[in-house]
Amino acid sequence: MRKIIIDTDIGVDDAFALRYGSLLFDLIGITTVDGNVPVDMATKNAKFFCKIYKKNIKVYKGASRPLSIKPTPPSFDIHGSDGLGQAYENPCDAKADNAVNFIIESVKRAPGEITVIAIGPLTNIAMVLNLYPDFAKEVKELIIMGGAFGTHGHTGNMSNFAEFNVFKDPNAADLVLSSSTPITIVPLDVTNEVQITADEIQKTHDDFLINISKFYLDFSIKQKGFNGMAVHDALTIAYLKNPDNFKVIKKPCRVITDGIAAGQTVIPLSAAPSSNNCFKDLTAHKICIDVNVDAVKQGLLETLTLV
Ligand code: BDR
Ligand code: CA
């Protein structure tokens, strides 16, 4: 069974990804990062997730702030003031070993075997690459939820240009995407297309997911008048389960790190020669630009329901 590590800023859709991933793959550890919630809260939430589902999976704590920009506020408005929809009293603490060391040691111990799934800002992964550049050749694959490339009009959810995870730490994202790591990007282009309704969540009979989703669904009703939500992060697991459900292009990708487009993911739009080619010699990554919505939804809901 494929060994995975999930690197997360655990909010509501992260919990869907953790559940889906832990049912399908060998989840050998959960690492946390500042993003939807501060890293201590993410660590507590990840431990709570393991407690609820009686999973003996160790949680590791990572970066508490972006690499170099000033930290931006958490997303309590969408995920609730505890990141998990304010549905439970969380009794867990935030004590944990170091996430960056755990990722490095895991990949060193089993080169070519570990898939890392990054569903928060890329700060931890950038730190891993800085400390241990061989991560790029020793990790089996790095699957990232992040970015937006404009398909179906999906250009950003934090600004006109930027998706949340990339916006939160654009320097980390640029460092990671400029590396030779084998990367698949699962951006808003596909995650925004797969909307799960409140009824569909209810039908899973998964009380934890049902309860934590209510706050997020209320936000969606207020914002869009729609009783449903995109479970962005869970699409990384859907991709790993069945990549054929996604249309993929292969391009090098970089990130605008400041100015009005800070956090924008950019790819070369033409082959026109440039004396100042910022993509020169960079690895082409797989970028998902379209998705078989019905197949992905069915796969997710079936797996969550069949427990
Ligand atoms: C991403 O932003 C976060 O709020 C979600 O958890 C997801 O990782 C979507 O843009
Ligand atoms: Ca996330």
Which residues have C-beta atoms less than 6 Å from ligand 1? 11, 13-14, 36, 75, 119, 145, 157, 163-165, 232-233
Ligand 1 atom 10 nearest Cα: 164
Of 166 and 77, the one with more pLDDT = 166
Start-end of H helices in the chain: 12-24, 39-52, 76-79, 99-109, 123-131, 135-138, 164-168, 170-177, 188-191, 198-202, 207-224, 234-241, 293-305
> What is the reported pLDDT for 188?
98
Per the annotation, the verdict on 232 as an active-site residue is yes
Q: Which pLDDT value is given to residue 274? A: 81
pLDDT at 161: 97
pLDDT in tens, 249-290: 999 999 999 999 999 999 998 877 788 899 999 999 999 999
pLDDT beyond 90 at 146: yes
Question: What distance in Å separates the CA atoms of residue 204 and residue 137, rounded to the nearest whole number?
Answer: 39
Q: Which of 79, 154, 232, 285 is catalytic?
A: 232
Q: How many residues does the chain have?
A: 307
Has 294 been annotated as catalytic? no
Tell me the average pLDDT across 103-122: 98
Atom of ligand 1 nearest to the CA of 9: 6
The pLDDT of residue 278 is 93
pTM to 2 decimal places? 0.97
What local confidence, expressed as pLDDT, does residue 200 receive?
96
273 C-alpha to center of ligand 2: Å? Answer: 37
Instruction: Delimit the domains of the chain by residue range.
Output: 3-304
Q: What is the percent of the chain with per-residue pLDDT over 70, rounded to a whole number? A: 100
Q: 228 forms bridges with which residues in the sheet?
A: 197
Helix or strand run (H / E) with residue 266: strand 265-266
Taking residues 63-70, report their average pLDDT.
97
| Res. 224 pLDDT band, cuts 50 70 90 | confident
Radius of gyration of the chain (CA): 18
Task: Tell which CATH classification among 3.90.245.10, 3.20.20.70, 3.40.50.1440, 1.10.357.10 matches the domain 3-304.
Answer: 3.90.245.10
